[in-house]
Structure 1
């Protein structure tokens, strides 16, 4: 019962994320407004990267997103430090779409599983079970969606002035 509620909630949050990324034009993806450290592309890629870390990495399991996502979207990265061409919004969208179904399949019956060792995130919150990390991810995803919304609003204002 609780597992199904968790998966349903993850689906709702990811649906909002996918609707958002599908509306963003590629030319807006790399805009970094004053007061921001990252762009829209980074925020969407970071959502995928962190979800993968929280679903698999903290369990000591193999992650399935492209290896190059780490160099672009891991915590502490920034577009100003990128080397090479980052993934397109379309590629990130494909990863986000595939990721949720894969997690639901691999975590079915496992949300109560204890992590090999407790995981403490950068905010100082410690997680002990797979389900706890998945629940936290919905908050994390929403936080970055709000950043996307703010950056996109700034991009639209700036492009209207031109």
Structure 2
């Protein structure tokens, strides 16, 4: 699992650089033809990771209910985020993964509610969920690379 966590940490470093290198206006901009922005994708990958791991294991996420509601699958930006929210998001990029790693090593993921992802991937164990999360973050990174050219 160390390799999976290493991939997630590297992914999060890429997302953090985006937060550092784009203005608040750019992070909030929704280009013509799109229904989301850079900030939504970053929030979405964090919420999805928490749902895949913690909710999948029947546990509470480490994120607020408000944050989950803003960035879960099927949502879109309803308002611009503030700089304070961007700063919080940057901290959460790393703290959520650190907590997941600690919780995994401490054995809190004792059960997992097996299911198929929307794309058909079998998520039978917490290890499957962690691996699938990396795939999911890669999909959104690809979208961000396209989107950032438009902001």
Normalised to the residue count of structure 1, the TM-score between the two structures is: 0.82
SS for the counterpart of 2:64 is: coil
Contact 1:18 / 1:96 at 8 angstroms: preserved in 2? Answer: yes
| 64-73 or 117-126, which deviates more | 117-126
| 5-14 or 84-93, which deviates more | 84-93
* Shift of residue 114, structure 1, vs aligned partner: 4.8
Q: Which residue of 2 aligns with 1:124?
A: 120
More strand as a share of residues: 1
Would you say how many aligned residue pairs link Structure 1 and Structure 2?
149
Q: Which residue of 2 aligns with 1:25?
A: 23
* Shift of residue 35, structure 1, vs aligned partner: 2.6
Contact 1:114 / 1:128 at 8 angstroms: preserved in 2? Answer: no
Q: Which residue of 2 aligns with 1:90?
A: 87
Kindly provide the CA deviation profile for residues 23-44 of structure 1, in whole angstroms up to 9, marking residues without a partner as x: 2211111211223221111100
Q: Which residue of 2 aligns with 1:8?
A: 6
Out of 134, 139, 145, the residue aligned to residue 138 of structure 1 is 134
Contact 1:29 / 1:40 at 8 angstroms: preserved in 2? Answer: yes
SS for the counterpart of 1:141 is: helix
Structure 2: distance between partners of 1:85 and 1:22: 17
Contact 1:30 / 1:41 at 8 angstroms: preserved in 2? Answer: yes
Contact 2:109 / 2:126 at 8 angstroms: preserved in 1? Answer: yes
CA pair 119-24 structure 1, distance change in 2 beyond 3 A = farther
Kindly provide the CA deviation profile for residues 3-62 of structure 1, in whole angstroms up to 9, marking residues without a partner as x: 222222222222222222222211111211223221111100001100111120100011
Q: Which runs of 5+ in 2 are unaligned?
A: none
Normalised to the residue count of structure 2, the TM-score between the two structures is: 0.87
Q: Which residue of 1 aligns with 2:47?
A: 49
Q: Which residue of 2 aligns with 1:106?
A: 103
Structure 2: distance between partners of 1:136 and 1:97: 18
| Structure number, greater radius of gyration | 1
Contact 2:50 / 2:61 at 8 angstroms: preserved in 1? Answer: yes
Q: Which residue of 2 aligns with 1:159?
A: none
